[in-house]
Structure 1
Amino acid sequence: MLDPLGPIRTPRTRGIGRATTLAVVTAALVAGAGLPTLATAQAESLTPKRVGSAPVVPHGATKSTAPADITQIDLSITLQPRDQVALTTFVNAVSNPASPLYKHYLGTGEFGKRFGADAATVASVRQALTAAGLHPGEVSANGLTIPVKATVAEAKKAFDTDFAGYKLADGSTGFSNTKAPAVRGDVAGKIAGITGLDTATRATPRNVPKQKPKPAKVKPNAVAPHNINANPHLCSDWSSFLGSQGMVDGQNYYSSGTLATAYDMNNMPDGAFGATVAIMSLENYSSAAVNEYQSCNGTKANVSNVRVGGQAGAPDTANGEGGETALDIETVASLAPGSTILVYQDANTEQGLVDNYSRIVNDNRASVVSISWGRCDLVRGADSTLNLILQQAAAQGQSVVAASGDSGSTDCYRYGGTQDARLSVDNPAALPYITGVGGTSHSGSVPSSFSTWNDGQGAGGGGVSKYWKLSDADNPAGSVHGAGYDPTVCGAGAGESCRQVPDVSALADPNHGYLVFTNVDSQGVWYSIYGGTSAAAPLWAAIVATANSSVACAANGPVGFLNPALYKLVGNTSVFNDVSDFSSNDLTASGYFGGSYQATGGYDMATGLGSPKGRGLIAALCRQLPSQPAGSFTSVSPTRLLDTGVPGAIPARGNTSLQIAGGNDAKGNPNGVPAGVTAVALNVTVANTSGVGYLTVWPTGKAQPVTSNINWVDHSGAVPNLVTVPVGAGGKISMFNGAWSSPARVVVDLLGYYTPDTAGANFVPLAPARLFDTRYGDANNTAKAPVAGGADISVKIAGGKDAKGNANGVPATNVTAVVLNTTVTRGQGDGWMAVIPTGGAVKSSNLNWTDKKTVPNLVVVPVGTDGKVTFHNGMGGQVDVLADVFGYFTSDSGAKFHVAGPKRIVDTRYGKGAAAPGQINGNTLHINLNDSGVLAGATSVVLNVTVVNTHGDGFLTAWPGNTTKPGSSNLNWMGVNNMIANAVVVPVHDNSVDITTNSPADVIVDLMGYYSAS
């Protein structure tokens, strides 16, 4: 019997005569009929089986010298997930607006634990590879990829294939395996794909330049960045130069501003600030050209490179290298100028392609991925591997858009052969878990008409995939059929449909194309006008990134896999420019076999669902998010949940998570927070800091937001703040220490929690009113004297008075807790203060300060049985205290809490949320909260407000918009270049709030949630 774990060998009969052999077999048959059957089954299970298909010879390639046997190659073995049905079901559920799992994405690193291959599969495949003479590494974090090192000779033997060398049409060389790789039969079914054997197959950028890039001796005059609340526009020097060449903006080319206007993306509230877009690149490009473009257009997108593989170097821009990547970056920067752009670069080989996709998805840093490189669907190569990677992206909430090709309905015409080979679509746009973007043609800043891009030389790719099917029940894209659809192309059965391309479209006509800067050298700035569907894909990426950054979508995470949501909007003219003029993407006129896919009403395979109407699309995508359950509040006596201590401090640039729902307190006892909690109110303190830093708190499983909750400067001591944060995956929250060099000791105290039931209390906001101030004395009988160390101040809140002797607005009965903004100042020495219900025990602190520092903190505290709250000075030195009331919780009436963040809505350093960049100094910052209607019913909002770059002592006040400024404060600070944050709950009026400071400072506002009547 063969060793089932050993290499495949042919049994030898030498030394055993025929008679002996027959005798053995006869004995076996007499002894038991199952024995030879078992041996035969085991032998058959080890019979080599081929995985995938052999590569297609690249178009225009000629045979050349085969690779030497000693040539080193890096391979990847992609494993099947442990349960493909469960993976597909999960992806469809989290992507479907009708599913209760919608938006319940996997966090970074979770995919492998849930869907990666099981340990037995990994072990058996690694053993089989080793037995075949290969050198496998450890399985990847997503549990699907085993890296393998081999020589060509070892690969030949292990996979039973030869290799052929090729000289490609562009003059480069490569090699390909001549047969599909064979592996041992017992592991073949566990392998989804084997890549790295083919270096000759290349992807092609799906762009069409109007002319080769050429230099212009025009030094762009820099435009001040105005990417927030303003439209990027082309600098005057370049506008004049192009005009001198007889070129008209919106006719012969589109500038950033005109493109934004055409797609209703001008003057967006934040320019996709906080969103990250990944651009997949298989080439080098000129960063200098991108910088010149941004300088000329007044954009300031943060662009950085992630080198996955391949070699860095100067691009051959004269022959078009780098043009595609520059087009992608500059298009995203034009429409999403506040975004972060990550350019993932690798070699243009099959392995480079797979490694690039894998890195983008495993990193999970970008919520949107733009792909402008493709190849004929006939060249299947790594399709199965790529499809699994795209399923992982969908499971994590990443949107992936891809150019659908520039050869109309005949993407594979260059390969000749049968009708099916010519009438075909582009890959990866044809894969099921990607959004394929086709091409349209239009002109003007407000286009009056849209048609299919087809100029006889190129056309937007579209048609029916020969290889991929969709379930009509699980994927709405499957049940929508365009004119010319033929289910026999892929052999779709009952309840199935062939994958159709494109899903959507945008401008791709090079005759009205995109102005692109491609290089900068001694001759000037090189430029061209680009078209092609590779321009339409990043346009869509920019719009989706803007949706992800909006308040409307931020509450539940990114849009994710787009197609299920998009196909629910079919025919919606407030969302799509629906091309229905019967224009076609048929290139028959060019002599190729054509398919007549015409643009008709609704969905079609010429332009998909249509091109986007920016604001309409963003609103529609975000409205499809599940409504957040309204939360009622349960206050608790402050309970310590965590104290990392100095040894356990969160390291610089490090993070940790904390179990909230069903977790324990710092002493190991149950913390009392039930399952199903939606958000939690915490007092978070950072201590033992040095240098400059910040702490970000967010729901586990969501992407880390561009927000902060606590900020500190050198030797800040202990810095507290109230944090209201949604509870994430597994009932946890995450915390990130943003300091570059200093660890942070973090202390977390529980103040209360929100649940989607009616058992808790609702919130009633109040116009801010001062309760007392020990610096001046007041009508609450508070003495004009600091509070001594160890002493208390008890103030009647429920049914009490304000500092002037008027009713403070808090009723005498049915009040469970109050929201107070409390500030300590002029303290002698370091100290801490606890705010507790009168009669309660001191279990934690709400404010911490160092000598003579001014420190504010928002406090949510239950009221005592007598309606009073006690302020306890826990240290030996005296300190002044002042408090303002902002609202109360009651079981009688009031508003419920809704999650809407964390999301940055104002940053005056960059002009985000403001009319222009600039500090607040006595002037009023008016914040309009109307974002896609999400906050339309808000009665008050929960904000985290930070001041930075202070010029001296000062304070900040927030109050209902368009009303009289109150005599209270939310944030107080001392000194120059201070940085301090405080939580704020402020009523909303006219769907807005106002903020001002009494001395110069930059202001940052992060939205955490809001209250509404329902």
Structure 2
Amino acid sequence: YGQHLSKDEAHELMAPHPDTPDVVSQWLVFHGIDEANIKYSSTGDFMTISAPGVRVAESMFDTDFHVYADSGDALARTTKYSIPEVLHNHVNLVQPLVMLAPPPQASKPATPSSKITSADLSQEDNAVDPSCDYQINPNCLRQLYNIGNYTASPAKGNVIAVSAFEEQYASYTDYALFVEGYAPSASGANFSVVPIIGGINDATAPGVEANLDIRYAFGLTWPIPATFYTVDNYSDTAGNGNYTFATAALHYIDFLLDQTDIPPVISNSYGNDETIFTPAQANKICQGFAALGAHGVSVLYSSGDNGVGYFYQEPTPFLIHFPGSCPYVTMVGMTTGIKEVSGTITEFASSGGGFSNYFPRPSYQDKQANDYLSYLGDQYQGLYNSSGRGYSDVSAQGIDYLIEYYGYTYNETGTSAATPAFAAVIALLNDVRMDAGKGPVGFLNPWLYSSGYAELKDITEGSNPSSGTNGFNSYFSTSVQVTGFGTPDFAKLKELVIAQRVDRVDKPRPTSPSLILYLQVNLNSRRFRSLSLIALTS
């Protein structure tokens, strides 16, 4: 394990069928699209086109567009569309013609957390400062996860990255003050800001989510170089409104795949209900993460903070958190307290977990998922998809993280706190491997489910109640629906990753080639102004 594809090889995973560009181009030219205006993405799976007006688009897709408005935001959409039969083998989706999706949600509660009473401390917990049972800071995580005084070296090629959507900005000043007070060995540390599709970083208007992420991802890993990706998910590449999170995610992945050097570990705290995405959109995004994993990138996502759904009174079908439900990313749940039980605050937050409705269970997960399903029996039958990809994969502390914001100090809670913490451990493991002349760990899940799990602390207390149920519980060992294999032990994991030999290289490969079209309808007052089309192939 630890052998990865080159950039060009990863691009091949996303490349269209050789016939697809010509077939689609002929159709576009037939409708008056100038071939000179067609632009391709780095991987060849995006085709961006400008069209002369809405009537052309209505003719192309045999539909009528209308303007839908809510709270001052206007979107051009239709309720149905069609494409010529000759394109059916090349096109899976045209988006976002029928999409009225909300923006992504950061996986954290909207207000600061309140304290949970944890279980009594066992003898082995005495090495952890008792104050960590009430408030988490970087030193607590170093104690809990057996990092100790380990200090990384700025090994060539090792970088840790955090991605931000929702106009979440990071503050250099607040970060500097935080590390000076709570991670003094990192005093003077800084991070690079990289904008994607017009993203900016307005440090005068910092966001709680962004600053929580960078404090713990970067503060634990100094002096490993740190990158903050800021993604604009409200505008298209021309700066127009009328955008979706799915489109932003696709541009985000394409940007990463176009880089010569991609950070080997990337922490992501944003997502939404799986049903917000069409299956074609979700599959396309997931294919991009597969290519990143094959290229040697560990992509981590938070599992959400709503347990198995939302906090309804009556039992309802469980809701799934995407992109984390993609089998090519590692999903992080949350724990609480020094003893570490599944993180739950009644009627406030509960560690996300469940089974995907879009993605079948990957083979690397068969044993653990089948064991858990046998234990579960017919409980919640009909409320979840027992054949889907199960999550979470791993977990970390997610309750009561210390954060300073606009001069105030308080606690923040959510799997979006757990995710950068676990990502920091992976960055440190990459440091260990790179110091030994080895590559980064890359796509984590096959390794975790085959051998890595042995060096994680299994969580066997707690559950993730919501949707009118008690949710899945952690009583059964390796409960993939709540906290996964549990929390990391860095000292044990570093011995494992340095000693592990490559017996079989299990590289993720996306599904067979297909085509997706992205249609952007811009608005000028109440009149349609212009169109741009993006063809996405995989």
Taking structure 2 as the reference length, the TM-score comes to 0.76
Cα distance change on mapping 1:555 and 1:473 into 2, 3 Å: same
Residues 646-692 of structure 1: per-residue CA shift (max 9 Å, x gap): xxxxxxxxxxxxxxxxxxxxxxxxxxxxxxxxxxxxxxxxxxxxxxx
With over 3 angstroms needed to count, the CA separation of the structure-2 counterparts of 1:597 and 1:270, relative to structure 1, is same
Asked whether 1:538 is paired with 2:423, we answer: no
In structure 1, how many angstroms separate the alpha carbons of the residues matched to 2:459 and 2:364?
27
Query: Does the alignment pair 1:262 with 2:144?
Result: yes
For structure 1, which segment, 263-272 or 386-395, has the greater mean C-alpha deviation from structure 2 after superposition? 263-272
Matching residue's letter, 1:306: V
SS in 2 for 1:547: helix
Which position in structure 2 is the counterpart of 1:148?
49
- Equivalent AA in structure 2 for residue 339 of structure 1: I
Distance 1:394 1:311 in 2: 24
Deviations 1:119-152 (A, max 9, x none): 3212112322343455662332222222233455
Amino acid at match of 2:79: K
157 and 372 in structure 1: CA distance in 2 versus 1, 3 angstrom threshold:
farther
Q: CA deviation at 1:396?
A: 0.4
Change (3 A) 1:149 1:531: farther
User: Distance in 2 between the 1:570 and 1:295 partners?
Assistant: 34
1:165 maps onto 2:41 in alignment: no
2:270 corresponding residue in structure 1: 373
Q: Counterpart in 1 of 2:301?
A: 402
Pairwise CA distance, 1:180: 5.6
Amino acid of the structure 1 residue aligned with 2:488: P
Cα distance per residue 1:592-648 (max 9 Å; x no partner): 4325300024221121111112222333344334289xxxxxxxxxxxxxxxxxxxx
Aligned counterpart, 1:425: 320
Q: Distance in 2 between matches of 1:527 and 1:271?
A: 31
1:352 aligns to what? 248
Distance in 1 separating the partners of 2:83 and 2:291: 26
C-alpha distance in 1, partners of 2:414/2:214? 15
Query: Does 1:322 find its partner at 2:207?
Result: yes
Q: How far 1:322 sits from its partner (Å)?
A: 1.4
Match status 1:451 vs 2:341: yes
After superposition, where does 1:821-900 map in structure 2 within 5 Å?
none
Match of 2:403 in 1: 516
Deviation at 1:328, TM superposition (A): 1.1
- After TM superposition, give the deviation of residue 195 of structure 1 in Å: 4.0
Residues matched between the structures, number: 459
- Give the whole-Å Cα distance in 2 for the aligned partners of 1:585 and 1:374: 18
Distance 2:408 2:291 in 1: 39
Task: State the Cα deviation string for residues 495-525 of structure 1 (Å, max 9, x = none).
Answer: xx4111111111112xxx2222344xxxxx3
- Partner residue of 1:618? 494
Q: One-letter code of the match for 2:252?
A: N
Bigger shift: 171-180 or 598-607?
Answer: 171-180
Cα separation, 1, equivalents of 2:215 and 2:336: 20
**Alpha-carbon spacing, 1:552–1:362, altered in 2? closer, same or farther (3 Å):** closer
Query: Aligned letter for 1:264?
Result: N
Establish whether residue 462 from structure 1 lines up as the match of residue 344 from structure 2: no
CA deviation string 1:194-245 (max 9, x = no partner): 4455575310111236539xxxxxxxxxxxxxxxxxxxxxxxxxxxxxxxxx
State the shift of 1:371 in Å: 0.8
* Bigger shift: residues 456-465 or 136-145: 136-145
* 8 A Cα contact 1:565 1:621, kept in partner: no
Q: Distance in 1 between matches of 2:492 and 2:413?
A: 25
What CA deviation, in whole Å up to 9, does each residue of 1:910-929 have, x standing for no partner? xxxxxxxxxxxxxxxxxxxx
Report the alpha carbon displacement of residue 391 of structure 1 after superposing the two structures with TM: 1.1
Change (3 A) 1:472 1:490: farther
> 2:223 matched to which residue of 1?
338
Deviation at 1:361, TM superposition (A): 3.4
Q: Which residues of 2 match residues 188-199 of structure 1 at below 5 A?
A: 188-195=88-95, 197=97, 198=99
Q: CA deviation at 1:548?
A: 0.9
1:288 to 167, 170, 173: 173
Report the 3-state secondary structure (helix = DSSP H, G, I; strand = E; otherwise coil) of the residue aligned with 1:305: strand
Paired with 2:437 and 2:371, the residues of 1 have a C-alpha distance of: 30
Distance 1:284 1:408, change over 3 A: closer
Structure-2 change in CA distance of 1:531 and 1:142 (3 Å): same
Q: Which piece of structure 1 moves more, 287-296 or 480-489? A: 480-489
Identity of aligned residues (%): 22
Distance 2:498 2:358 in 1: 33
The amino acid across from 1:308 in the alignment is I
How far apart are residue 441 of structure 1 and its match?
Answer: 0.8
More strand by percentage:
1
The one-letter amino acid paired with 1:434 is V
Are 2:509 and 1:608 equivalent residues in the alignment? no
Q: Offset of 1:272 from its aligned partner?
A: 6.6
CA contact (8 A) 1:280 1:345 kept: yes
Q: Where does 1:343-742 land on structure 2 (aligned, <5 Å)?
A: 343-348=228-233, 349-350=244-245, 351-363=247-259, 364-381=261-278, 382-411=281-310, 419-420=316-317, 423-442=318-337, 447=338, 449-456=339-346, 457-472=348-363, 481=372, 483-484=375-376, 497-509=387-399, 513-519=400-406, 525-551=407-433, 555-569=437-451, 572=454, 575-581=455-461, 583-587=462-466, 592-594=467-469, 596-604=471-479, 605-626=481-502
Contact in 2 for aligned 1:272/1:550 (Cα 8 Å): no
Aligned-partner SS, 1:250 = helix
Which secondary structure state, in structure 2, belongs to the residue aligned with residue 619 of structure 1?
helix
Describe the shift of the 1:551–1:452 C-alpha distance in structure 2 as closer, same or farther (beyond 3 A).
closer
Tell me the SS of whatever aligns to 1:405.
coil
Deviation at 1:383, TM superposition (A): 0.8
CA distance in 1, matches of 2:435, 2:28: 46
Where 1:607 maps in the other structure, the secondary structure is coil
The answer for the alignment partner of 1:186 in structure 2 is: 86
Task: Name the aligned partner's letter for residue 517 of structure 1.
Answer: E
Contact preservation (8 Å) 2:425, 2:490 = yes
Query: Aligned-pair distance for 1:367?
Result: 0.5
Tell me by how many angstroms 1:266 deviates.
2.3
Tell me what 1:891 maps to. Answer: none
| Compared CA separation, residues 143 and 610, structure 1 to 2 (3 A) | same
**Bigger-Rg structure (1/2):** 1
SS at match of 1:535: helix
How far apart are the structure 2 equivalents of 1:394 and 1:328?
22
CA RMSD of aligned residues (A): 3.3
**Structure 2: unaligned runs, 5 residues or longer:** 114-129, 234-243, 505-538
Deviations 1:304-334 (A, max 9, x none): 11111245364785xxx61111111111122
CA distance in 2, matches of 1:626, 1:505: 26
User: Cα 1:615–1:179, aligned 2, differ >3 Å: closer, same or farther?
Assistant: farther
- Residue 550 of structure 1 aligns to a residue whose secondary structure is helix
Q: Deviations over 1:25-53 (max 9, x none)?
A: xxxxxxxxxxxxxxxxxxxxxxxxxxxxx
Partners of 1:469 and 1:187 in 2: how far apart?
27
Three-state SS of the structure 2 residue aligned to 1:288 is: helix
**Quick check: 143-152 or 325-334, which moved more?**
143-152
- Answer yes or no: is the 8 Å Cα contact 1:264–1:613 preserved in 2: yes
Write the deviation string for residues 251-276 of structure 1: whole angstroms up to 9, x where unpaired. 43222222222211221142675421
Query: Over residues 798-841 of structure 1, what are the superposed CA-to-partner deviations in whole Å (9 max), with x where a residue is unaligned?
Result: xxxxxxxxxxxxxxxxxxxxxxxxxxxxxxxxxxxxxxxxxxxx
| Secondary structure, counterpart of 2:19 in structure 1 | helix
Distance 1:470 1:516, change over 3 A: same
1:174/1:294 CA distance change after superposition, 3 Å = farther
Aligned-pair distance for 1:301?
A: 4.4
- Check conservation: 1:132, 1:158, Cα contact below 8 A: yes
